[in-house]
Amino acid sequence: MDDTTTGPARRSVLCGLAVGLLAPGVLAACGTSPATNTGTTSTGTGKPGDQVAALADVPVGGGLLVNMAGNGRLLVVRPTDNEVRAYNPTCPHLGSTVSPPAGGVITCPTHGSQFDPATGAVRKGPATTGLTEVKVRVDGDRVLLV
């Protein structure tokens, strides 16, 4: 009996099955960056007065990403010696985590949006809005939530 006249070849069926099983995973991998922040708030379970970072750990002209209790995360920056700010590090474009400032700019590694460390304002898209500021204050050698 000739296999080509009774329906699709076995190889075609198996290849189609393999593509059908693999395609959802491949398509999911084409979504957003693995550094996506979904379903979390930037301060987690933090409350006013909680320490965010030691002032000495935040370099002047730079910053750092800080993990907060309750699955939160903040980007703490120090634009000048006397100024400390914090932002939700979620890029408003597609939700990836932005990088700490380098060369005077905060950059999203996914699509290259850039933000001003002193204000959080968008400098270059594709993001159309800036980073959301989270109020902090310096108390001695500590950075605290307001």
What CA–CA distances, in Å, run from 69 to 16, 30, 45, 100? 47, 30, 6, 20
Percent of the chain with pLDDT over 70: 72
Domains of the chain: 1-31 (no CATH), 51-145 (2.102.10.10)
What CA–CA distances, in Å, run from 88 to 5, 49, 92, 95, 121? 63, 18, 10, 10, 12
Predicted pLDDT of residue 42 = 87
Residue 79 CA neighbour count, 13 Å, CB half: 12
User: How far is residue 16's CA from residue 130's CA, in Å, rounded to a whole number?
Assistant: 45
- Average of per-residue pLDDT across 18-34: 40
Predicted pLDDT of residue 31 = 38
How confident is the model over 95-136, as pLDDT tens digits? 999 999 999 999 999 999 999 999 999 999 999 999 999 999
Distance of CA 137 to the CA centre of its chain: 23
Percent of the chain with pLDDT over 90: 69
